[in-house]
Amino acid sequence: MRLALAYRPCGGPLDDANPLAASLYLASFAVVAFAFSNPIVLAGAAGGVVVAAHLAGAGPAVRAAARWGLWLGVIFVLVNAITAQRGDTILIRGFAAPVLGQIDVSAEALAEGAMLAGRVVIVLMAFAVQSASVNPDRLLRKLRPVAGRSALTATLVTRMVPLAASDYARLNDGAALRGPAAAPVGRGAMARRLVAGSLDRAIDVAATLELRGYGRGLPRATDTGRSRHSWRFVAAGAAVIVAAIATALAGGGGFDPYPLTTVGTGLATWALALSLPLLAAAPFIGTGRERR
């Protein structure tokens, strides 16, 4: 079964664009999530990521990331509610926790935890769309002239991790077929066998790379494919970042959880939030025929 985050060629504008341009476009929404805690702005960034995922055909990836982020967000909210002993609106007073002692849970601490969780979910969704929509081989090929060893390492990791998972599944099945009288196979024995197999495979890979001439340096040839859609995504990503900077300079997007939660609702805040889904859809306008 193919994972939801696995890359699927869809032939759309985002898949056809330069992988660096596509990555910049999607990373711009993560930048907004890192820069702002305002729930209105975060809702706009989440809407932008969802629009990009829908138009790029990465709906399953963004839904999977949202599910994982939801559980992670619950942990963020609970941890922040216990550790952040601030806020004037006390919801639970005198809660006794081991080691930590007496805990007061405030509405402001819950609000801050929810904003942290929202930022994490948006970043996860943005990179999930990037993983499902941007060709990893083309992206690593673009990075090879800049960081050849790192690109090669990342390429090998993306190939070897699934092999290690397959090895573990086969070893687990083999251990289950040894019969009821056999001694149980512990985690230590499984880990030693996996490490030994990985080292053997690493030696084979190193020998293969040497035979293929990787020790002589990087070849000059690189991915020279051009796309007329790349400039659209570069412009959209740059516009998102510029809009975020302009909003910050204008004093918009404010959020202060303590001592009472205050949320900025000015014109600049709403303008940024409403513009993010529009900027996400802008690169896809007029490309419907090519996508079909």
Q: What is the pLDDT of residues 48-57, one digit of tens each?
A: 999 999 998 8
Residue 20 has pLDDT above 80, yes or no: yes
Q: What is the pLDDT of residues 151-167, one digit of tens each?
A: 667 667 666 777 777 77
Q: How far is CA 252 from CA 205, 242, 245, 247, 274, in A?
A: 53, 14, 10, 5, 13
Residue 69 has pLDDT above 70, yes or no: yes
- What pLDDT sits at residue 118? 92
Instruction: Give the CA radius of gyration of the chain.
Output: 24
- What pLDDT sits at residue 289? 45
Range with the poorest average pLDDT among 22-31, 158-167, 195-204, 229-238: 158-167
For residue 100, the tally of other CB atoms under 10 A from its CB is 11
Per the CB < 8 A criterion, the answer to whether 62 and 125 are in contact is yes
- What pLDDT sits at residue 291? 44
The closest of 24, 28, 63, 22 to 45, measured between CA atoms, is 28
Regarding pTM above 0.85, the answer is: no
- What pLDDT sits at residue 148? 61
Residue 45 has pLDDT above 80, yes or no: yes
- Tokens representing residue 287 in the block: 């490309």
Mean pLDDT of 226-253: 89
- How many Å apart are CA 75 and CA 189, to the nearest integer? 33
> Who has greater pLDDT, 92 or 47?
47
Q: How confident is the model at residue 268 (pLDDT cuts 50, 70, 90)?
A: very high
- What pLDDT sits at residue 244? 94
Mean pLDDT of 249-253: 91
> Who has greater pLDDT, 62 or 222?
62
Q: What is the pLDDT of residues 89-140, one digit of tens each?
A: 888 877 666 766 778 888 898 999 999 999 999 999 998 898 888 887 787 7
Task: Find out whether the peptide bond into 39 is cis, omega within 30 degrees of 0.
Answer: no
- How many Å apart are CA 152 and CA 159, to the nearest integer? 11
- How many Å apart are CA 193 and CA 195, to the nearest integer? 5
- How many Å apart are CA 123 and CA 26, to the nearest integer? 9
Residue 218 has pLDDT above 60, yes or no: no
State which amino acid sits at residue 91.
L
Q: How confident is the model at residue 215 (pLDDT cuts 50, 70, 90)?
A: low
> Who has greater pLDDT, 291 or 13?
13
- What pLDDT sits at residue 1? 35
What SS3 state is found at 26? helix
- How many Å apart are CA 41 and CA 268, to the nearest integer? 10
